[in-house]
Every structure is written in C-alpha cells, then in structure tokens.
Chains A and B, each alone.
Chain A
Amino acid sequence: MPDQLIFGMEVFLNGLMAGVLYALVALGFVLIYKASGIFNYAQGVMALFSALTLVGIMEGQIPFAHLINAIFGTELHHFGWHVPGILAIVLTMAVMVLLAICVQKFVFRHLVGQEPIILFMATIGLAYFLEGVGDLMWGSEIKKLDVGLPQGINLAIDETTFGWFGYGFFIDNLDIVATIIAALLVAVLVIFAQYTKQGRAMRAVADDHQAALSVGVSLNFIWVMVWSVAGFVALVAGIMWGTKSGVQFSLSLIALKALPVLMLGGFTSIPGAIVGGLIIGVGEKLFEFAIGPLVGGATENWFAYVLALIFLVFRPQGLFGEKIIERV
C-alpha cells in the first residue's frame, strides 16, 4: 500500500477523534439553542469555569483566596485536603447546577420574550462575568488537570497497524476515551430527550414555549434543567481539553472550534453536532495533510469555516437543522 495512503488513513482516524472533541463543545450550544433559542456565547467560558472549579475542588483550593487575603491581610490558600476526582466532578456539577439556577433567576427570567439578539448580548455579558469570577475564585495560573484519564500513544493500535502496514498509527488514548464518553453522552441525551417526561417537556418548550406553558410545563424548571445539562456537557469538554493543555483561560477559545461544527450540523440537532464535528475534524485534517504543505500549512482554522460555508450553500439550515418556512 502506498505510504501516502497509509498516512492518509492515520490522518483520517485522528480527524475523527478531533471531530469528537469539537462536537463535545458544539453539543452545549445545541442544547441551549434547541430549548430556548439562545445562542449561548458563554458556552466556551462555561467549559473553562467548570474545569477551573473542578481543579480548585480537587486541589482543596480556597475560593476567592486572593481577594480574601487582599481584604483581610490573611494568608489563606488551601484547605489542606485533596478531593478524589469522581467526588470533585460531582461537586463541580453541583456548582454548575447552581450557576444554571442563578443564570435563569437573575438573567434570562427577566428577558423572556425579548429579541434573540438581546438574549445573545446577555450571554456575551455572562461570558465576561464568568471569566472574571473564575479568575477571582481560582486564580489565573495554569493548572494541571489529572482525573486519571490515560494519555499518550495507544500501543495496541500502534503495534497492530505496524503489523499490517509496516507503519504504526498514532492514536491518543485520551481521544479514544473522549470518543467513548461522547458516544455515551449522546446516547444518554437522546434517550433523555425522547423517553423521559422532562425530556419531552424540553422538546415541547423548544417547539412552542407558550403552548408548553398552557399545558402546565414550567418554563423556569426546563430552562434551569437545560442550562444544567449544558453545564454538564461543558464540564465534560473542559475535562477533555483541560487534560490536553492544562486548565487555563484560553480554554474558553475552544468555542471557536464549535462554530463551524454548528454551521454545518445545524443549531438544533444533537446528531448534527456529532456528524458536523466528525466532518469538520476529518475535513480539516485531510486538507492540511494533502494541501497544507503546498500552501504553507496552518490551514485548519480557515478551512473548517470554508467547509461549513460550502455545506451552507446547499443546506442553509445545516445538515440536520430544521428548515424554517415562513409563509407571507
């Protein structure tokens, strides 16, 4: 088999894995948009905030320590204990639920019925607020995140493919774990949306919130629930990306990777986010592999958007988005 084909297969597989990580971020956007029509600009910052909180809890860091020390002249930094990863994830999730309640109570409850652009602007404010609070609570230094996920080359795949092709494929163990977790997450979300009372209520609100209200669905509860689920998805994305690069403020920029995925997959479809992520991941990696060297490389950022735009020419609502027909 020609070397270029073998290398291309390796790139393809890595593109799929990268696509899963993009889809994890995109999923959070989809959930909130689907249920409330809000494009949540703060989704990337939510991933950052959740990862910061997770590391802070694991390390026993005292929240707002710098602020407390500056005001009271104390020297507080740590509680002196370490919290196991699983327990810290549960506690972080509790914080994200609390955040969802606050967001609903103090921001969006007062904006019901407003134009989408107003809601979007509110999420921009939320993003800056959360970034600032995250800094005050946990500090801005880069933190190592280790919840026990494996990292590095998967030796079994390396050896197997070496046996087949005389070249061992590189697949990162973390990417494999991310793929499994993303698959489970999507399955759970689909089951939740299709087969549970709350899930059906969420879909009802998404279709027509006034009609849902009229049959007794609590908008407040549904929106808190959706923001909590989006918070959970943000936490999963924050763990995956934070494990790769350490937890730091640039983590919020992962949202940039989700935008072409959303354009391609549609803003309202959970499978769309996954398929869109995979297409973007594979597309950008293969383009970089085949064409990148001819044009100086670093094509991935712009190519992802070009690919999404090409799809939009043929399907403006995205691959799985709902087609909106307005009759005059």
Chain B
Amino acid sequence: MKLKLATLALGATMAAAPVMADLVFPSLSYRTGPFAAGGIPFADGYADYFTLLNERDGGIGGEMASVPECETAYNTEKGVECYEATKDSGALIYQPLSTGITYQLIPKVTADGIPLHTMGYGRTSAKNGKVFSHVFNYPVNYWDGASVGVNHFMKQAGGSLEGKKITLLHFNGAYGREPIPTLEALSAKHGFDFNAIPIDYPGQEQKSQWLQIRRERPDFILFWGWGVMNQVAVQEAANIRFPMENFMGIWWSGSENDVIPAGDGANGYKSLQFHNVGNDFPVFDDIQKYVVDAGKAAGAGDQVGTVLYNRGVYAAFLAAEAAKQAQAANGTSAIDASMMRDAMESLEITAATMEAAGLPGFGPEFKVSCENHGGDGLAAVGQWDAASQSWSLISDFEPSDGSVIGPLVDADSAAYAEENKVAMSCN
C-alpha cells in the first residue's frame, strides 16, 4: 500500500513539475474568488500565447515554454506562497497581476535574482531601474495613465483645464491611491481643481460616493477600480446621468466585464489602454487554429479577443520577446533568470517586432534601459460602444507628461532606496 502511495505521489509530482529544460514562465493566476472574472481571461491569454509558440514554432529558440499555474485567488499571502513554491523550478519571470503581491515580492525577487514584470500595475517608481534592479513596469505605469487621462480631458475641454474640476474615484488602498501625487502635481500645473473620493473594498455599495459626485458636479472623473467596484461605478454613473464621455477608468477598469452589466447606460464610457483591443490581429487566427481548435486552450476558448485576454497575450508576448533577446545575447537557448533580467533591461519593442509576432500596432513602441524600467509611458484611450458591445481605441498611444512624472519617480524611488538601504547603480 505504502509503495503504491509513494508511486502515486512520485507520479503526481512528476506530472505537476515542469521539465527542467523548459523555459519556465510561472503564472500566478486567480481563477477563483471575487476577482476571478478578471483573472481568468488574463491567465488564459498568458498560457495560450505560450502554447501557440510551442505548437506553431516548437517553443522559443527550440526550447519549449512551460507555464505552471498557481492559484492566488488575488490573495497576497497565497501569492507569496505561490512564488516560494515555484521559484526553484527554473522560473524566468513573474507577473503576479496584483499590486499587493507585487509589493511583497519586490525584496524577494531582488534577493533571488528573478525579474518581476508588473505591466501597468505595482509600484510606479519601480520605473527607476537604478533602485529596483529586478522590477520592470514597462510599457506604462499608473502615473503615466493619470497624465494621459488628464491630457485627454484637456483636449476634450478645448485645450485648457483652467477652472475645471477633476475627481479621482478610487479603490481605497495602495493601488487606488497611486495616482494621487501625480494628479496633485498636474492640478498645480494645469490649474484644475482636484479631489479624491475613496471607495472601500469590495465596493458593492457606492451610494455615498455618487451622491457626493452629484453634489459637487466635477467636469471629469478618473476612476481607479477593480472587481465589482467597476461594474457598480459604471452603473451608478449611468444612474445619476453623469456624461459617460467625461468618465474614464484606468486600464483595470476597462474590460467588457465592467460595462456589460450596465447595458446601454455604459455607452460612451472611456478607459485607458496600453494595448489594442478586439481580435482583428493575425495572432488570434493562429491561437484559434493551433490552440483553441486543437483543444489545447487554457480555458474554454471563449475569451479570445476580450480586453483582459488580450492583456494576457500581450504580457506573454513581452516575456517571450525578452526570452528571445536573452537567447540571442547569450548564444544559448537554455537561458536563466539572470540572462532574462539583463534582456528585459535592454528590451526594445518596435513595430517590426510586433508585426513579426502577428500583433501589428498592438501596443506602443518602447525601449527599456537601466535608468528606465518603465518604457516610454504611452497609453491610448478606448471607448465602449454599447450597441456593438465592443471597445475601440479613439486615440493613438500618446505620451505622458515626463516633466511631472520624472521628478515624482526619482523622489519616490530615492525614498525607497534610503529606507531599504539600496545603493543606486546601473550595472
């Protein structure tokens, strides 16, 4: 009996563990819990892109990619457990899709020498690679998002925000409070009134916040929400008849999930995006052919082309491109985390790179360096059309205000360096 159990246990371990020669891209996913509706499409997109590379191209540079999943349920403690459980599997990169988990992993990945990519989330000042050697947040961060949003409102207001009022409606936590310093600085620069209204987790009840908005009548609202908070906010905005074209969410408040429950009332709602939307890209034809139709999709295959699925694909694409560049730079296909980190620090995504991957114009072009782990901070504005039930980009990928964000990044990263005794350097 004991022998049988031991054999079963060994078999299970062998089945679960990645083959050590694979390129390992652990996926700290959340397919359960209150945030599953956002976590599932991202995890599916992330896994499906690597499956596509394996099935169509024979892997990356001849090495098969493996994507072991670990369920975090968007819980920080579980996320850290997942990291500890998978880091010795040859992990090349982590993308935890959670600001809370990111904050806990920053010192750990730095000590373990594994790069952490927090694409459009996490600690904004990680853009400074002289302080955060193993943390990358390209192509864009929250402060870029706040700046691009304000720029868009400025254009909408005819070129000036003087005397206008912008309200930040936000998740009452580290994630939601991230853009406040930027918006305060932009308020001083452009002469608009700014106030912030927090919403406590989970955000199912937002009557107080929307009554306040109705009383104060801001000209524009920026919104930093996640999970059920998004759907309720869009519904409440529709209820008080706030003009939807003046209401813009960050990219985590701009998926189909967030607007469909509000029906026609959500029409015209805007959201920042750092990658394109829809499924009109060659890569999705290949995913359909090699992954979904072949029965190898990570999920049900019904999320292809949705905003968060696309984000998962984009995250995997950026990781795969860094792996390719690491292989080229080191002359070996069997790269390790250190090589991956170095490649991420010199990553360049051009139009040609995206075209070659079947993603023409899918995201902004950008270049990473030691001084700049955050890329060029370009974001676009998307708008929801309730009739066609689809998002479309209504602007190009446009730059943020570097003159405001640069000093804020320097100040915050310097404070982190001092607090944690990190010597600033570029290797």
Contact = CB atoms under 8 A, between A and B. Distances in A.
- On whether the two chains bind one another, the answer is yes
A248 B207 contact: no
Contacts of B209: 297
A33 interface: no
Nearest to B239: A152
Interface of A: 7, 10-11, 14, 17-18, 21, 66, 69, 73, 131, 135, 139-146, 151-153, 170, 172, 241, 244-246, 248-254, 256-257, 284-285, 288-289, 292, 296-298, 300-301
Given A142-B257, A252-B34, 11 more contacts: A14-B208, A18-B205, A140-B37, A142-B231, A143-B261, A152-B238, A244-B204, A246-B260, A248-B231, A253-B34, A285-B207
A19 to B, nearest CB: 11
B199 interface: yes
A142 B41 CA distance: 12
A11 B261 contact: no
Contacts of A145: 261
A248 to B, nearest CB: 6
Contacts of A300: 200, 205, 208
B205 A140 contact: no
Contacts of A298: 172, 198-200
B263 interface: yes
B391 to A, nearest CB: 15
A164 B227 CA distance: 39
B231 A246 contact: yes
Given A152-B238, A248-B231, A250-B34, A141 B257 contact: yes
A296 B198 contact: yes
Contacts of B174: none
A11 B34 contact: no
A249 B263 contact: no
B214 interface: yes
A66 B300 contact: yes
B215 interface: yes
A144 B263 contact: yes
A249 B207 contact: no
28 contacts: A7-B211, A11-B208, A14-B207, A21-B205, A73-B295, A141-B257, A142-B261, A144-B260, A145-B261, A151-B239, A153-B241, A172-B239, A244-B232, A244-B235, A245-B261, A246-B228, A246-B231, A250-B202, A250-B227, A252-B34, A254-B204, A288-B208, A289-B212, A297-B198, A298-B172, A298-B199, A300-B208, A301-B201
B197 interface: yes
Contacts, number: 120
A18 B204 CA distance: 11
A284 B200 CA distance: 13
A153 B239 contact: yes
A11 B231 CA distance: 22
B240 interface: yes
B208 A151 contact: no
B261 A144 contact: yes
Nearest to B38: A142
Nearest to A247: B261
B173 to A, nearest CB: 10
B228 A250 contact: yes
A135 B299 CA distance: 13
A10 B209 CA distance: 13
B265 interface: yes
A301 B200 contact: yes
Contact of A170 (B34, B199, B211, B300): B211
A143 B231 CA distance: 11
B240 A153 contact: yes
Contact of B240 (A139, A143, A170, A257): A170
Contacts of A21: 205
Nearest to B40: A140
Contacts of B263: 144, 146
Interface centre among B205, B215, B257 (most CB of A within 10 A): B205
Contacts of A139: 300
B160 interface: no
Interface centre among A17, A245, A254 (most CB of B within 10 A): A245
Contacts of B172: 297-298
A18 B236 CA distance: 14
Given A144-B263, A244-B204, A297-B197, A249 B211 contact: no
A160 B202 CA distance: 34
A214 to B, nearest CB: 45
Contact of B204 (A135, A241, A289): A241
B289 to A, nearest CB: 16
B36 interface: yes
B425 interface: no
Contact of A142 (B33, B205, B260): B260
Nearest to A22: B205
B208 A285 contact: yes
Contacts of A131: 32
A312 to B, nearest CB: 22
A241 B204 CA distance: 8
A301 B33 CA distance: 20
A289 B228 CA distance: 23
